[in-house]
Amino acid sequence: MDQEENAKITSSFESLSRESKELYLHSCVSETEVEPTALQFMKKCVSPNLPLIIREGCKYWPATSKWSHEYLRSVIGNKFVTVAVTPNGYADAIREGQFVLPEERKIKFSDFLDIIENPDKTNGVYYVQKQDSSLVKEFQEIAEDVPKEIVFASLALEKKPDAINFWMGDKRAVTSMHKDPFENIYGVIKGHKDFILIPPTDLPWIPYKTVPQAVYKETTGQFEIVSLEDSDPIPWIDIDPLNPDVEKYPKFKNAHMLRCRVHAGDLLYLPSMWFHHVRQTQGCIAVNYWYDMDYDIKYAYYTMLETLCTGKPPEDYIEPL
Ligand SMILES: O=C(O)CCC(=O)C(=O)O
């Protein structure tokens, strides 16, 4: 691409980012204390692709009052569940030039609770974070303590959730910045979560790097990073929004970061394709509902932006006849 064309594209990115801020983004995540109707949710959130916190939106779910450690021990203490273990709390993040997956272990839930209660007595950071509808697959004994769907969302989106996930972990466990193709309704049951959100229109300022995959393995008390030779390299975001290296990635300064704290009993609507980074308090428990996004005109524009940023057509691109 010649210089002139490059300058045109950069100025288009700047105007997209500026116009988005001026016309539709807010300076903080909107909040309500009243559950939206399906129509309000569609009109004010899904359609404009804007996040919303519904304070006390899950306060009256049975889980919010029932899920003490004592209760969980008595109901699922003997069950083996999948836990992600890392040396530093960063699962699925770039380390030493590789995308490093956590070591997945099956341990008894009561042993996991012991570790959460005494994190300094164990090597590594433990996080129950499997995202394959884990609440339904691994925690079915307690699944009845939360609704099977979020009614206003199912009505608005005209579908049932694709996955319902259970999250519980150490305060050092961090979910690195990424985006998902889901409309996400995220309920915090115990503790609180801190989200950093960046809108999809800021994609040009987000540094992606395509790196080989690897996995943590603990042997004799030491974690090592083992390369996954047979896996394909993947693109992942190479910046920590808590401590961004703006010398390396100066454009990241343009990103419009929204920060919000979601307390126990609150619901967050996290729109599809928004970049998010998540932290939590010790032993924080959450349940989230992923609804498949609609592959609509917003998605098509996003894909165009991605193509402009990378200079490459999308992976599933089919040459027109
Ligand atoms: O709670 C977390 O640690 C991450 C949540 C997340 O990434 C999601 O719900 O998509």
The pLDDT score that the predictor gives to residue 318 is 67
Give all strands of the β-sheet with 125-128 in edge-to-edge order.
Answer: 30-32, 52-54, 267-270, 182-190, 284-292, 163-169, 125-128, 80-86, 103-108
User: What is the Cα 36 distance to its own chain's centre?
Assistant: 23
β-strand pairing of 213-219 with 98-101: parallel
Domain spans, the chain: 3-310
Q: Ligand 1 pocket: which of 184, 260, 279, 285 to mutate (most atoms <8 Å of CB)? A: 184
Indicate whether residue 180 lines ligand 1 (CB < 6 A): yes
pLDDT average, residue stretch 23-27: 92
| Residue 91 Cβ contacting ligand 1 at under 6 Å | no
Residue whose C-alpha is closest to residue 138's, from 157, 115, 119, 112? 112
| DSSP state at residue 249 | -
Q: Is the pLDDT of residue 286 over 80?
A: yes
pLDDT at 305: 96
Ligand 1 pocket test: pick from 133, 182, 278 the residue with the most ligand atoms within 8 Å of its Cβ: 278
Residues 63-84: pLDDT tens digits? 999 999 999 999 999 999 999 9
CA nearest ligand 1 atom 10, residue: 180
Q: Is the pLDDT of residue 319 over 80?
A: no
Distance of alpha carbon 100 from the chain centroid: 16
- CB of 288 sitting under 6 A from ligand 1: yes
Q: Is 182 in the pocket of ligand 1 (CB under 6 A)?
A: no
Which band of pLDDT confidence, cut at 50, 70 and 90, is reported for residue 311?
confident
CATH class of 3-310: mainly beta
Residue 41 has which token pair? 């949710």
Tell which residue, 273, 262, 151, 251, has the closest CA to residue 206: 251
From the alpha carbon of 186, which atom of ligand 1 is closest?
A: 9
| Ligand 1: nearest atom to the Cα of 165 | 9
Split at pLDDT 50, 70, 90, the class of 118 is very high
pLDDT, tens digit (0-9, with 9 covering 90-100), for 147-206: 999 999 999 999 999 999 999 999 999 999 999 999 999 999 999 999 999 999 999 999
